[in-house]
Amino acid sequence: MKSKEYNSFRTVFAHVLLVILSFMCLFFFYILFVNSTRSHADLQKGFSALPGSYFFTNLTNVTNDGTFPMVRGIVNSLIVSGCSAAICIYFSALTAYGLYAYDFKAKKVAFTFIMAILVMPTQVTAMGFLRLITKMGMYDSLLPLIIPSIASPAVFYFMYSYLQSSLPLSLVEAARIDGSKEFRTFNQIVLPIMKPAMAVQAIFTFVGSWNNYFVPALVIQSKDKMTVPILIALLRGADYLNRDMGKIYMMIMVAIVPIVLVYLFLSKYIIAGVTLGGVKG
């Protein structure tokens, strides 16, 4: 009897705790939505838990602002984030497969070198990176925001760990015996097995690229090539007399919609990918 009461108490406690945590996670999104529906004057008055009536007004103001290319900024961010996620996932998986499936003398050295790059902050190499892309004629373009995504030590390590737990080398050997070429083996046998890990890292890479401010601010100068974080910074950096907090919150609200859609589209792979990739079979 006591055991049943204890189990019931644990169930109720777990549900209450989950409700509280869910509320804490969603509360900030709700406040963001509320603020995006209020005017600048209303926002100056302080906090409000109820939505206002300026949602479409703020949306129109942001969209039709001739000095603020919101739609173009979202398209730029979609291009950069989508391309970065695609090439990062594919080439990181390919690199992980190469180090996992092949034995060569420099294997440990290569793995150590990649892991050493992981601890190097982006800010340390910023000036050298800026000088390099300037000499290559890629300054003020979207290419420097996409191409470096090919080399991602963190994604590589996740893929490598996932392969260790999910891909038996006997499967690769069987494909080779059947006459399958290496790229065909990777594209048609290995990639389908890695789908959960690739989906998880696609989410993280997309969100990381979408929210990246440092590199775009360093490289991009033209307004028609700016990404969403730079545009939000431009709105926030306006002088006090020209600043419209309603437009700022609306821009942030619009900016998180693609991220939410990506999460919803790939969310079913998150738990499976993290669990299988983190547990070595």
Which pLDDT score is estimated for 274? 54
Give the structural domain span for 11: 2-58
Instruction: Give the Cα-Cα-Cα angle 112, 118, 123 (nearest 5 degrees).
Output: 140
What are 198's two structure tokens? 């690739």
Q: Which of 60, 63, 37 lies closest to 48 in space, CA to CA? A: 37
67, 73, 75, 81: CA torsion to nearest 10: 170
Total domains, the chain:
2
Query: Are 50 and 70 members of one domain?
Result: no
Cβ neighbours of residue 29 closer than 8 Å, sequence gap 6 or more: 256
Query: Are 98 and 51 members of one domain?
Result: no
Query: Are 34 and 105 members of one domain?
Result: no
* Centroid of chain to Cα 172: 31
What are 159's two structure tokens? 């893929």
* Centroid of chain to Cα 5: 44
Query: Are 10 and 132 members of one domain?
Result: no
Question: Which residues of the chain are modeled with pLDDT < 70?
Answer: 1-6, 66, 237-242, 269-281
Which pLDDT score is estimated for 28? 85
Q: What is the DSSP string of 178-216?
A: TT--HHHHIIIIIHHHTHHHHHHHHHHHHHHHHH--HHH
Which pLDDT score is estimated for 277? 46
Which pLDDT score is estimated for 169? 83
> CB of 212 within 8 A of CB of 145?
yes
What's the CATH number where 166 sits? 1.10.3720.10
Query: Are 110 and 186 members of one domain?
Result: yes
Choose the final residue of a domain: 10, 34, 58. 58
Query: Are 236 and 112 members of one domain?
Result: yes
> CB of 34 within 8 A of CB of 254?
no
Choose the final residue of a domain: 37, 58, 79. 58
pLDDT digits (tens, 9 = 90+) for 27-85: 888 888 888 888 888 888 887 778 888 888 888 888 877 677 888 888 999 999 999 99
The Cβ of residue 78 has, within 10 Å, a number of other Cβ atoms equal to: 15
> CB of 266 within 8 A of CB of 197?
no
Query: Are 208 and 115 members of one domain?
Result: yes
Query: Are 18 and 102 members of one domain?
Result: no
Query: Are 160 and 203 members of one domain?
Result: yes
Query: Are 15 and 76 members of one domain?
Result: no
Query: Are 81 and 136 members of one domain?
Result: yes
% of the chain exceeding 90 in pLDDT: 10
pLDDT digits (tens, 9 = 90+) for 141-160: 899 999 988 888 889 988 99
For the whole prediction, is pTM greater than 0.85? no
Q: Is 56 left (phi over 0), alpha (psi -120 to 50) or beta?
A: alpha
